[in-house]
């Protein structure tokens, strides 16, 4: 079985991969002289899962603001649609003639296309989620970069008020991502970095308060910012 890097991809793709594996086994047995059984039930399971994923994919394309997702996802959706049609053709041909060359060719084509297409859909959706997290991180970095403009307590209050929801959103997204990952090393690294941010941000804010109280030179403020950046 393939290795999945997120739990969502695993939960969707693994059952389909199992059904495809059954089709491959039946195909190999038929090549060894056994009769080709009726593939309708296995194909129905695969088709239902594929149709559900295609529907979700199309809805996502209509509502997302991610232009790259809108560009890449339809290609993967069409690949799955074409693969399903190939499997249906294979089922019809092999049902009437268990040794049909066209049926066997369509079966292989459909098996390969389903796995590749659904993998492409899931990875495209996953990459879009990662881009959202990256954008949230960039927003936090932008807020950190404007601290040099803070020169009085009122500015700091406004700064904290504006940055808090942005930081909270980034934290939620990264925390959810960490729980999704199946690779223990990747999970641990992401968790460590998030914990580091949670620890440093309060220290960073406290350092700004100290700077405002002591009213040092701009050069000292810049050094303080660079230390926590």
Query: Which class is domain 7-129?
Result: mainly alpha
| CATH tag for 146-228 (out of 1.20.120.230, 2.40.240.10, 3.90.1150.10, 3.40.50.720) | 1.20.120.230
pLDDT of residue 184: 92
Boundaries of every domain in the chain:
7-129, 146-228
Q: What is the pLDDT of residues 56-74, one digit of tens each?
A: 999 999 999 999 999 999 9
Residues 56/69/135/177 CA torsion (nearest 10 deg): 40
pLDDT of residue 3: 55
Q: What is the pLDDT of residues 89-134, one digit of tens each?
A: 988 888 888 788 888 889 889 989 998 999 999 999 999 999 999 9
């Amino acid at each position: 079985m393939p290795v999945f890097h997120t739990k969502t991809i695993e939960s969707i793709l693994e059952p389909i991969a199992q059904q495809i594996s059954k089709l491959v086994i039946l195909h190999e047995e038929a090549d060894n002289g056994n009769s080709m059984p009726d593939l309708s039930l296995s194909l129905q399971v695969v088709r239902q899962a594929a149709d559900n994923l295609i529907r979700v994919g199309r809805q996502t394309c209509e509502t997302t603001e991610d232009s790259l997702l809108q560009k890449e996802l339809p290609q993967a959706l069409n690949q799955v649609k074409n693969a399903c049609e190939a499997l249906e053709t294979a089922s019809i041909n092999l049902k009437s003639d268990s040794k049909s060359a066209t049926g066997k060719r369509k079966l292989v084509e459909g098996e390969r296309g389903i796995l590749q297409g659904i993998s492409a859909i899931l990875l495209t959706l996953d990459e879009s989620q990662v881009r959202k997290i990256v954008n949230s991180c960039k927003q936090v970095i932008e807020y950190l970069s404007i601290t040099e403009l803070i020169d009085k307590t009122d500015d700091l209050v406004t700064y904290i008020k504006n940055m808090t929801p942005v930081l909270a959103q980034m934290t939620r997204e990264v925390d959810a991502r960490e729980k999704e990952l199946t690779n223990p090393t990747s999970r641990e690294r992401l968790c460590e970095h998030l914990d580091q941010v949670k620890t440093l941000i309060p220290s960073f804010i406290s350092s700004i308060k100290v700077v405002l109280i002591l009213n040092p030179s701009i050069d000292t403020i810049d050094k303080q910012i660079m230390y926590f950046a």
